[in-house]
């Protein structure tokens, strides 16, 4: 692709950021539709400063990842109602110098789950209480799932559970209660710590649907163990691609080349 002064700049803000495949996915999408854009990864220590810089440099759109999905809420100029209800954002659009915050994680995750299971009336356990957990919890609750939050930090779990009027428990208590769907929203198991699991292997059973939003590695230790005992598993690539496709469409107004985006991520993971 040709890059010049008219090239539109996009990026992802996070810390750490070296693991991300968002540039691979979005640049493949830009190239596929011949869109004059480029997408870069920025490891950011000062989120407020980075967003001020994004305005000054006229970045057209941003992804926001760990640990800034909640903090960014107070730093954008306008916030979508759904992102406000979730209490986290992962997508920013720059419209004439005003930053608008959205959340594509929630619909992206629900699309990934819908490929393998239904949510209504299912007992769903979410591991974690951060920005991604908020998006997943909001989606599960809106689709009629019976939700429980498990987290190491009880104050964060209590806050999220209170907002959604659902149950919360210490992470160590997972396994004491039945669940139909288990979703790990933490970074446990992410490269390079790919041998780690958020829950003990013996707490899994073959009747569960197990989803891990970590996509690098493609098959985390949690998913390997779940697959071994016969669970239906959902890897993080599906959610990653679906949420990215929604971002792409919000930024460009062009239908996302979903298959190409998925293929680019899978090829990178190989």
Question: Catalytic residue among 2, 45, 60, 69, which?
Answer: 69
* 107-234 maps to CATH 3.40.50.720: yes
Q: What is the pLDDT of residues 32-41, one digit of tens each?
A: 999 999 999 9
Main-chain phi, psi angles of 187, to 5 degrees: -90, 5
Q: Which 3 state secondary structure label does DSSP give 166?
A: coil
**Fold identical between 8-103+240-269 and 107-234?**
yes
pLDDT of residue 192: 87
Q: What is the pLDDT of residues 126-170, one digit of tens each?
A: 999 999 999 999 999 999 999 999 999 899 999 999 999 999 999
Q: Is the peptide bond before 217 cis (omega within 30 degrees of 0)?
A: yes
Say if residue 3's pLDDT is above 80.
yes
Spans of all domains in the chain:
8-103+240-269, 107-234
Q: What is the pLDDT of residues 183-213, one digit of tens each?
A: 999 999 998 888 999 999 999 999 999 999 9
**270 catalytic, yes or no?**
no
Q: What is the pLDDT of residues 71-120, one digit of tens each?
A: 999 999 999 999 999 999 999 999 999 999 999 999 999 999 999 999 99
Q: Which fold does the domain 8-103+240-269 belong to in CATH?
A: Rossmann fold (3.40.50)
Name 181's bridge partners: 124, 209
Say if residue 51's pLDDT is above 90.
yes
Of residues 129, 14, 11, the one with CA closest to residue 66? 14
C-alpha dihedral over 202, 203, 209, 210, to 10 degrees?
-80
**CA distances, 232 to each of 22, 77, 142, 195 (Å):** 26, 41, 22, 20
Confidence grade of residue 176 (pLDDT, cut at 50, 70, 90): confident
pLDDT of residue 191: 85
Burial code of 91-104, b = ≥16 C-beta within 10 A, e = fewer? bbbbeeeebbbbbb
The sheet carrying 8-14 orders its strands as: 37-43, 8-14, 61-64, 91-95, 98-102, 78-79
Q: Does this model's pTM top 0.75?
A: yes
Confidence grade of residue 270 (pLDDT, cut at 50, 70, 90): confident
What's the alpha-carbon Rg for the chain, to the nearest Å?
A: 18
């Amino acid at each position: 692709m040709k890059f010049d002064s008219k090239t539109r700049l996009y990026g992802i803000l996070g810390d750490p950021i070296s693991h991300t495949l968002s540039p691979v996915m979005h640049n493949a999408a830009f190239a596929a539709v011949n869109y004059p854009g480029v997408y870069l990864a920025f490891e950011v220590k000062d989120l407020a400063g980075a967003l001020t810089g994004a305005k000054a440099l006229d970045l057209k759109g941003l992804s926001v990842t760990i640990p800034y999905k909640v903090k960014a809420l107070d730093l954008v100029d306008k916030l979508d109602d759904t992102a406000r209800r979730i209490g986290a954002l992962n997508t920013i659009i720059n419209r004439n110098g005003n930053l608008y915050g959205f959340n594509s994680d929630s619909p992206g995750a629900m699309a990934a789950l819908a490929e393998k299971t239904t949510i209504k009336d299912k007992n769903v356990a979410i591991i974690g209480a951060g920005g991604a957990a908020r998006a997943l919890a909001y989606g599960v609750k809106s689709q009629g799932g019976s939700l429980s939050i498990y987290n190491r930090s009880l104050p964060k779990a209590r806050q999220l559970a209170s907002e959604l009027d659902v149950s919360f428990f210490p992470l160590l208590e997972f396994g004491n209660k039945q669940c139909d769907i288990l979703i790990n929203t933490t970074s446990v198991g992410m490269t390079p710590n790919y041998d780690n699991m958020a829950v003990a292997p013996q707490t899994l059973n073959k009747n569960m649907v197990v989803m891990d939003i970590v996509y690098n590695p493609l098959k985390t230790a949690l998913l390997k163990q779940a697959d071994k005992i016969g669970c239906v598993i959902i890897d993080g690539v599906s959610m990653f691609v679906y949420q990215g496709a929604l971002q792409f469409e919000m930024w460009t107004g062009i239908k996302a080349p979903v298959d190409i985006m998925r293929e680019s991520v899978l090829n990178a993971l190989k």
